[in-house]
A and B are shown apart, each in its own frame.
Chain A
């Protein structure tokens, strides 16, 4: 995978900010752990080059700015040599911190929490190739700050015995190239794991012993999986069959509008986590994308949505009739794609896939029916649980639970007890993800989010915010909301939606939704670790873990 050129970094503070930004985008699990350790601390950082920065946490997110905070609870000073201790995996850490090289001051508990945060960042983030790229760019820009470069391969043989160790060989005399990874592997190669000792003459570490946690660069992995499945989709959708303009070109439209790649990544990573070949999961991932896009086409018609991923919806641009037909064709093509696994995956796995797909479709249409009935009957459910059930059925299954299960089936797992290990964790994560999506629709930028701004309010979508608002507002406001929702979508104005948003903000409904999403996501992450503890700590499991944490750390 090719990395984008690193941004120009001219100070240590800028390096820290860029690192935190990269981690927030690519390694949510690391950010979540660091944010948890830093909770409540306002960290002011001063660096040897005179630059300053702040580091704070909010919920499971880290925030860093290249400005000193006004009232830091902990102050830390690093010179560049001490910075080397933190991240730079390309060079072995210095043996000791020199006097005046590193200083941390504050309340004892806060200082310890700060050190734990640095430990988390240094131990778990240093291996990410994107972080290494940032730090290499900074170091190469100002090499004089980093002290003398260690001399490699200059030792004449014979060496003294301590220098003839296997680890020393892998570290210095014959190290791997940083780019030496399996090209084409979808969930690999984004993290550099340092060499490790199995036997040093006294102590044995089982060769199979995995590290406590495995991390992965989520951003690169999502992109890789999305592109690979996109290629497969291009192969699957007929290119020269008629009617092209009225059907097959329409089918291609939604998949071409790049999404995040969450579902393809979940399928492929889940398959790899069960020791399956990633290629075995690609076709099923493509089938799921077809199902997903077929659902979206029909959903957009049901909701009267005008925009999808930043462009007009299919029925807006081609009319309802052709859009309905294209959605039907996507579902048909998806079934055909699942069946086409037969020659490569065999009968048992293909039947397992069909079983999973049928279940997923049933859950989705049931969820859609529940939501459409609420809108038709102008009902806003009073409890969050009703929303959770609808959300899990409508999007949770096909966005989170089913992709994991389908990936495992691709790897040959058909035991319901094993497949069920994904259910509760990804049910909670799926609901949290949907709530965050709903919040983003109200507060996110359209360019990033892709849907029309306030589209959910214009549609009268029953979100957790709307449910909270109708539960907590006074009678008069409740009556106004009821009247507004009773009108047709076309008669609601953008002004109505803005009014509704202001009322939601006044009643704290957005904050409530974010809190609920955070709580559910944390429960989901906990269940992930408990229910899937049987999976070995591979990089594929690391990808699944990053996705689980993605919900808690993505910017709102």
Chain B
């Protein structure tokens, strides 16, 4: 059974996501996971489980590997958004590919607070609402193919997404985050000194639906939100396709169309009043996640990109300057998306 066995091609789905992305503090490992609950079947029947979950693990020098859209999960997964809990209490995050090629058995803990919810309406009643929280700490074991890495500490990002959209209407997005490095145990306990999250949503219609934002955290608190008019985004160069892997493995059977090239460099700037921020991200390794689309024959693609990022600027009269590793998503961009 595929993930959408009962959906006709005209059905735009209600979606609820929990999204996770982590980078180990030693720079060796990266992880992206998405757990999605999809709306009720169009005939209103109950009981059909409409959920997908995928886990991607990146190992420096070895690239990406991924599960299918059917990881085994321990429910409920830890989330800052699903239920009230003490601020620094950890919770379980277990995802394992059915094939056991990739797995994460972690304990997650927040060190900060999320931003306020943001919303992007587009097309005819479609919308995407999201809420972000950087600075999430993770510790536990990771599996990448035949290797198991125990007692790995990572810092990352958690997000909830809720909305109703079709992939072709959504068009594409560019999204990413950067946490300042936390090399010592004391710094890990406190969480990243600074963190940045940016979003560029690029729906096809209407013309003014595109929106962007940059958010800046200091000491776990959202300090500045640069709104769309105060943000600019530019790209340069092309990443060689040798650094791009398509996942999950079954994607080749979906008649996946060729993709456009991924930029080699992404720069986001934000300026408001005396505040300035500049993120200079260099793409290194890409996993192209091919997602079956419910309303189109061709699948949709989300490109998860790992690479170094430099953050520079002045916020609230204090300089910000750090170099770290981040994760960026380039979504869309394949013929037929």
> Measuring CB to CB, which residues of chain A are less than 8 angstroms from any residue of chain B?
157-159, 161, 164-167, 169-170, 174, 176, 180-182, 185, 188, 193-204, 206-208, 210, 272-279, 411-412, 415, 534-539
With both chains docked as a complex, state the minimum distance between the C-beta of B220 and any C-beta of chain A, in angstroms: 26
Q: Is the CB of B200 within 8 A of A198?
A: yes
Q: Is the CB of B238 within 8 A of A176?
A: no
Q: Is the CB of B280 within 8 A of A174?
A: yes
9 tightest Cβ-Cβ pairs between the two chains A and B:
A208-B333, A204-B210, A166-B234, A182-B240, A195-B236, A199-B233, A166-B267, A275-B258, A198-B233
How far is B333's CA from A210's CA once the two chains are assembled, in angstroms? 9
Q: Is the CB of A197 within 8 A of B233?
A: yes
CB closest chain-B residue, reference A274: B258
Count A-B pairs with CB separation below 8 Å: 142
B27 within 8 A of A: no
Contact partners of A415 in chain B: CB under 8 A: 255
Q: Is the CB of B200 within 8 A of A165?
A: no
Contact partners of A204 in chain B: CB under 8 A: 200, 202, 210
Question: Given A165-B234, A207-B174, A534-B335, are A176 and B265 also a contact pair (CB < 8 Å)?
Answer: yes
B271 within 8 A of A: yes
Chain B 242-256 interface mask (CB, 8 Å, partner A; 1/0): 101010000010010
Contact partners of B237 in chain A: CB under 8 A: 176, 180-181, 193
Q: Is the CB of A164 within 8 A of B210?
A: no
How far is B171's CA from A487's CA once the two chains are assembled, in angstroms? 69
How far is B234's CA from A193's CA once the two chains are assembled, in angstroms? 13
Question: Which of B236, B241, B276 contacts A176 (CB under 8 A)?
Answer: B236
How far is B88's CA from A290's CA once the two chains are assembled, in angstroms? 65
Chain B interface residue count, CB cutoff 8 Å, equals 49
With both chains docked as a complex, state the minimum distance between the C-beta of B252 and any C-beta of chain A, in angstroms: 5
Q: Is the CB of B314 within 8 A of A157?
A: yes
Which of B100-108, B148-156, B223-231 sits within the interface?
A: B223-231
Q: Is the CB of A272 within 8 A of B241?
A: yes
With both chains docked as a complex, state the minimum distance between the C-beta of B321 and any C-beta of chain A, in angstroms: 11
Q: Is the CB of B240 within 8 A of A536?
A: no
Q: Is the CB of B235 within 8 A of A196?
A: yes
B192 within 8 A of A: no
Contact partners of A539 in chain B: CB under 8 A: 238, 261
How far is B271's CA from A274's CA once the two chains are assembled, in angstroms? 39
How far is B264's CA from A539's CA once the two chains are assembled, in angstroms? 14
Question: Which of B212, B255, B334 contacts A199 (CB under 8 A)?
Answer: B212
Contact partners of A169 in chain B: CB under 8 A: 234, 267, 269, 278, 280
18 contacts between A and B (CB under 8 A): A158-B276, A164-B269, A166-B278, A176-B265, A180-B237, A193-B238, A196-B235, A196-B236, A199-B232, A201-B228, A204-B210, A206-B171, A208-B334, A274-B258, A275-B259, A278-B242, A535-B335, A536-B335
B172 within 8 A of A: yes
Q: Is the CB of A275 within 8 A of B241?
A: yes
Q: Which of A158, A166, A200, A537 has the most CB of B within 10 A?
A: A166
Question: Given A169-B278, A195-B235, are A273 and B258 also a contact pair (CB < 8 Å)?
Answer: yes
Question: Given A199-B200, A201-B228, are A188 and B260 also a contact pair (CB < 8 Å)?
Answer: no
Q: Is the CB of A166 within 8 A of B258?
A: no
B332 within 8 A of A: yes
Q: Is the CB of A170 within 8 A of B230?
A: no
CB closest chain-A residue, reference B171: A206
With both chains docked as a complex, state the minimum distance between the C-beta of A346 and any C-beta of chain B, in angstroms: 9
Contact partners of A276 in chain B: CB under 8 A: 241
How far is B258's CA from A149's CA once the two chains are assembled, in angstroms? 43
Q: Is the CB of A170 within 8 A of B232?
A: no
